[in-house]
Amino acid sequence: MSSLHAGGTAGRLIADAVARFADRPALADQRTRWTYAELGVWIGRFVAGFRARGLGKGDGIAILTSNRVEPWAAICAANILGIRYTPLHPLAGEDDHAFILEDSQARALIVDAEKFGAHALRLRDRVPSLETLLSIGPLDGVPDLMAELADLDPAPLDPQAEAEDTSLLCYTGGTTGRSKGIMLPHRAIAAMATMIAAEWEWPADLRYAAMTPISHAGGIMLYPVMLMGGSARLLPGFDKEAFCRTVAEERITATFLVPTIVNALLEDPATLARHDLSSLQLIVYGAAPMSPDQLRRAMDVFGPVFLQLYGQSEAPQCVTTLRKVDHDLSKPERLGSCGRATALCDVRLFDADMNEVGVGEPGELCVRGPLVMNGYWRQPELTEQAFRGGWLHTGDVARKDAEGFLHIVDRTKDMIISGGFNIYPREVEDALMAHPAVSLAGVIGIPDAKWGEAVKAFVTLRPGAEAGPGLPGELQAHVKAKRGAPWSPKTIEVLSEIPLTGLGKVDRKALREPYWRDRTRGVN
């Protein structure tokens, strides 16, 4: 039942953008370019196609795809119909994907046949609860959505969802070994888009390039781009030459880069020199540590165009912002900040007893406001813990300076952020201990100039196992096969014993201490 104050949905945002900006360029990839009107036609076809298959409000679908225009139309159609969608990370392993498909109760999986066809067929065999596999492009024995939809009349874009319905059910790794499904309602997506559009210093002529997967941070940024009537150019992945050429040829004015990509560009001045990148007026960065020194180098090369976001899956993209104007080289200490709280976000720092700490004192960063999730999918105990005291507990410890700028100084959780990926030690430890040679594993993040943090593992061996020179490489390949490349440790040490806490758990603090003794560990 709708209430007097219902509204503010992602579906309404999408339908309004299609109507308001019909003739403007909306979305492009390597093969296809759509105006808003053309995007609207394909969204309407996906709406009709979903309905024809009995999919509607309250159902769940999953999407496994590369960066291309068609899955974004499918996501928009899901938002129109009130279908929750769950992205599967392109770099995660088959075990992760199978668990998420089962746990999310997805009725259908839409897959990019060219990139993930064989993988999807294996998932279909592993997940009996998955009713339907649909492909974008031809795949043996699987309905080709694009061929089917081409013959369908587009349905009207009539939003069916309500503000508290789940729009996005995304999964983040769990320190207990079980991934957590984060329920982001339409209210949170609409609030995020509005806050980003209002607070960030966007160029007037917005041409946005997305390199990171549209299933994750790169895609969720498309909502504010649509709200503002901008265009988005989807790139299939990070290639320095292709990125710089696209920026130069299409006069890209804004993009989102993780710090590892910024670093890769800075280390290739020859490629930068071959292309005119002067059109870039806004580079949004986040999702990983970025040192002030690296930031200064980047500003020397690209100019004062950088804006930092801080958020997490539970409160996406814009809990705080360090705006372009805040990147003041005359105040170098500010470059280590994650900015100030954004409008509509109430941010406080609390001690363990939920007492607010004073200026300059460390406390856990907690959030309230329309950006916050509705909880963890089918995990009420974890939801209650995350919302204790009436606040979302981020797990990050920060200090606030006298001007209100927040500085992340540590993490209460053990999550590693490597190359923009969130990696939980337990996930890697479990994969390592599934190897027949490994008795116990401890995993930490260590400082790394390229990745922000690098995954480092320590293992003890089972009796009879030998620590030959090829063992580290074998273990790395083992983790990559089970979890995916980002989870594979960059280095592995074999120890006679691993330090344990008094409760018998791996003492990650002791493992981490030599590497972070003289450095602040956190997200800059």
Distance CA 364, CA 360 (A): 13
pLDDT at 234 over 60: yes
Mean pLDDT, to the nearest integer, of 449-455?
90
Lowest pLDDT segment from 114-128, 245-259, 418-432: 418-432
- pLDDT value at position 288? 58
Asked if residue 212 is part of any domain, the answer here is no
pLDDT in tens, 306-360: 999 999 999 999 999 999 999 999 998 898 899 999 999 999 999 989 999 999 9
Q: Is the pLDDT of residue 191 over 60?
A: yes
**Res 519: pLDDT:** 57
Q: Is the pLDDT score of 523 beyond 70?
A: no
* 420 against 366, higher pLDDT: 366
What is the domain-level CATH number for residue 431?
Answer: 3.30.300.30
For the chain, the average pLDDT equals 91
Are 407 and 470 part of one and the same domain?
A: no
pLDDT of res. 463: 83
Q: Say what percent of the chain tops pLDDT 70.
A: 94
Asked whether the predicted pLDDT for residue 248 surpasses 60, the reply is yes
Q: Which range is least confidently modeled, 79-88, 231-240, 261-270, 288-297?
A: 288-297
Classify residue 136: in a domain, yes or no: yes
- Same domain for 388 and 421? no
Tally of domains within the chain: 3
Residues 265 and 378 in one domain: yes
- pTM, two decimal places: 0.84
Do 145 and 49 form a contact (C-beta atoms < 8 A)? yes
Residue 504 class from Cβ within 10 Å (0-12 exposed, 13-18 middle, 19+ buried)?
A: exposed
* Residues 172 and 244 both lie in one domain: no
**pLDDT value for 503:** 45
Order across the sheet with 282-285: list the strands.
Answer: 33-35, 25-28, 231-234, 207-210, 254-257, 282-285, 306-312, 315-322, 340-341
483 domain-assigned: yes
Last residue within a domain, chosen from 154, 185, 216 = 185
502 part of a folded domain: yes
Q: What is the pLDDT of residue 73?
A: 97
Residue-wise pLDDT tens digits, 84-142: 999 998 888 899 999 999 999 999 999 999 999 999 999 999 999 999 999 999 999 99
Lowest mean pLDDT among 26-30, 323-327, 441-445: 441-445
- Which pLDDT value is given to residue 226? 98
- Read off the CATH number of the domain in which 382 is found: 3.40.50.12780
Predicted local confidence at residue 524, as pLDDT: 31
Residues 114 and 35 in one domain: yes
Query: Which residues constitute the domain of residue 71?
Result: 10-17+31-185
Residue 524 · residue 289 · CB < 8 Å: yes
pLDDT of 522 strictly over 70: no
β partners of residue 460? 440
Look at residues 411, 431, 453 and tell me which one is the last residue of a structural domain.
Answer: 411
Indicate whether 165 pLDDT > 70: yes
The answer on 474 and 392 residing in a single domain is no
Of the residues 365, 386, 411, the one at which a domain ends: 411
Q: Indicate whether 435 belongs to any domain.
A: yes
If asked whether residues 279 and 403 sit together in one domain, one would say yes
pLDDT over 80 (residue 291):
no
260 and 396, same domain (yes or no): yes
Residue type, position 174, single letter = G
Residue 90 has a CB neighbour count (10 Å cut-off) of 18
366 and 380, same domain (yes or no): yes
Does residue 60 form part of some domain?
A: yes
Structure-model confidence comparison of residues 350 and 173, the more confident one: 350
512 and 375 in a single domain? The answer is no
Confidence of residue 496 (pLDDT cuts 50, 70, 90): very high
Q: How far apart are CA 233 and CA 250, in angstroms?
A: 9
170: β partners: 182
Q: Which residues pair with 309 in a beta bridge?
A: 321
Asked whether residue 395 falls in the same domain as residue 423, the answer is no
Looking at the domain assignment, is residue 279 inside a domain? yes
Instruction: Tell me if 452 is assigned to some domain.
Output: yes
Q: What was the pLDDT predicted at 413? A: 67
The mean pLDDT value for 176-203 works out to 92
pLDDT tier at 412, thresholds 50, 70, 90: low
Res 283: pLDDT: 97
> Do 403 and 275 have their domain in common?
yes
